[in-house]
Amino acid sequence: MAKGYDCMKCPGYCCSYPLIGLTKRDVERLAKHHDMSFKEARDKFTEEAHGRKYVMRRQKDEHFGKICRFFDTTARRCTIYEARPKVCRDYPNEDRCGYYDFLQFEREAQEDPEFIAVTNHK
Ligand code: SF4
Ligand code: SF4
């Protein structure tokens, strides 16, 4: 069955989640991708937060406030797609994406295919 969402038409809401938790394996993958040691990658790309050892660092974003440090805030896409963490590979874990449904609804209602709907993470 075809996916019910299209990330290419989305401003990257899921990449703005406050907690993007990584595994040790994810940090190893990031290190390899950037030709760095594990410690360098851990220190540069992650921080300890929310009781987790490795949480993705974030950067400012005009639409969502903050977003993953690896997100291209102009092109609105992931810059490390091949090396992205498991949680990003798995999301949204089903054939539909709740945010995309919401976005499509708003775009149709506003008759604006470029509209970016901003919701706060709870
Ligand atoms: S919020 Fe949904 S549609 Fe948007 S990038 Fe993430 S998975 Fe794709
Ligand atoms: S690694 Fe890529 S897909 Fe995952 S949150 Fe960051 S920008 Fe989004």
Q: Over the stretch 32-53, which tens digit does the pLDDT of each residue have? A: 999 999 999 999 999 999 899 9
Q: Which mutation among 14, 16, 68, 121 tests ligand 2's pocket best, with the greatest number of atoms within 8 A of CB?
A: 68
Q: Tell me what pLDDT residue 121 has.
A: 67
Q: Where are the domains of the chain?
A: 18-91
What does pTM read for this prediction? 0.92
Name residue, tokens 């069955």.
1
Q: What angle do CA 67, 105, 84 make, to 5 degrees?
A: 30
What is the spatial distance between Cα 58 and Cα 68, in angstroms, rounded to a whole number?
4
CB-ligand 2 contact for 71 (6 Å cutoff): yes
The rounded Å distance from CA 88 to ligand 2 centre is 6
Give me the mean pLDDT over the 43-69 stretch.
96
pLDDT category at 67 given cuts 50, 70, 90 is: very high
Cβ of residue 80 lying under 6 Å from some atom of ligand 2: yes
